[in-house]
A = this chain, B = another copy of it.
Amino acid sequence: MPSGFAHAELIAVLVAVTANEPRVMTLRGGEALPYGPFESKHRSLQSGLRAWIESQTGHPVGYLEQLYTFADRDRDPQNPEEMNGARHISIGYLGLVREQDAAGDGRPAWHDWYRYFPWEDHRDRHPEMLDAIAARLQQWAKDDPLRQQRAEYLFGLNGKAWNEDLVLQRYEMMYEAGLADGAGQESRAVFGQPMVGDHRRILATGITRLRAKIKYHPVVFELMPESFTLLELQRTVEALSGLRLHKPNFRRQVDQQDLIEETGEMSSGTGGRPAKLFRYRPAILEAQSLSGARLPVSRG
């Protein structure tokens, strides 16, 4: 087999938010992400994947973005022989689909993504699991000040602030420390549900990307129904970020962006005062930047 040839496939992190929980599409009882070889009939990977996903979920993909190409040599320790010398390449994609209506005929299974990363949900309480993780990490790092410092930073220990964007880096440190996968040292407890091969890492990559993206690009709306209340929008962002947001400020931000408009209708009250319904305004192309970082430009 000539060098330069490889076995290549697509793998997708498909996200939906239902009932304020972020969900991800899985196979094999939740232990694998959907994947498959790509067909050559479509012009671009993007369009081929889009068609495939729609056939699988029965729903159009609102947003699709390439995530990362995974190609390290020891990716899949399960069958190293099968590919007789060729490298194994997976091109990962992140896709957002609108709320799926209760799992359809049931083949694709959607699972709460916090099942795989329980320590990432800081909406209602500080996850207790974090204390156990911190203890194990501290032991792992006890002879290495750099590791300690990094653990503090990544996991918000010793008064450091929690940064919701560091999903992948946290997972990688846990993996290194043997807390993520039973493969190496199987005696001790492992945190979060494992997945096949490196699928959990790929999922972490997807979550990381999405958490970063919602801050400066209005992709959340790809997860919302046609019309929604401001609180529903907020709950969706909270579900993704794993944080509770400050309601008045959230509203103000959304308002300033000019991304939504009233539909004129009201929500059919689910317990409190009815709320105005809004719809997304594909605001003059994707011109908006939900708070783009700035350089100190000079005029003249």
Q: Enumerate chain A interface residues (CB-CB to B < 8 A).
A: 3-9, 37-40, 42-45, 66, 68-69, 71-74, 85-87, 89, 91, 146, 149-150, 153, 164-165, 215-216, 237, 241, 243-247, 249-250, 252-253, 284-285, 287, 290-298
CA distance A134 to B55 in the complex (A): 41
**Chain B residues within 8 Å of A150, by CB:** 285
CA distance A71 to B8 in the complex (A): 11
The answer on a CB contact under 8 Å between A68 and B66 is yes
**Chain B residues within 8 Å of A246, by CB:** 296-298
The answer on a CB contact under 8 Å between A215 and B69 is no
CA distance A216 to B295 in the complex (A): 10
A106 smallest CB distance to B (angstroms): 27
7 nearest interchain CB pairs? A4-B37, A249-B296, A215-B293, A246-B298, A44-B72, A6-B8, A69-B69
**Chain B residues within 8 Å of A284, by CB:** 149, 153
**Chain B residues within 8 Å of A89, by CB:** 6, 8, 89, 91
Which of chain B's residues has its CB closest to A6's CB?
B8
Which of chain B's residues has its CB closest to A284's CB?
B149
Known: A38-B87, A243-B297, A245-B298. 14 other contacts (CB 8 A): A5-B6, A6-B8, A6-B89, A40-B85, A43-B74, A44-B73, A71-B91, A89-B91, A149-B284, A241-B295, A245-B296, A246-B297, A253-B296, A293-B293
The answer on a CB contact under 8 Å between B40 and A3 is yes
**Chain B residues within 8 Å of A164, by CB:** 295
The residue among A8, A39, A150, A243 with the most chain B CB atoms within 10 A of its own CB is A8
A283 smallest CB distance to B (angstroms): 11
Which of chain B's residues has its CB closest to A75's CB?
B44
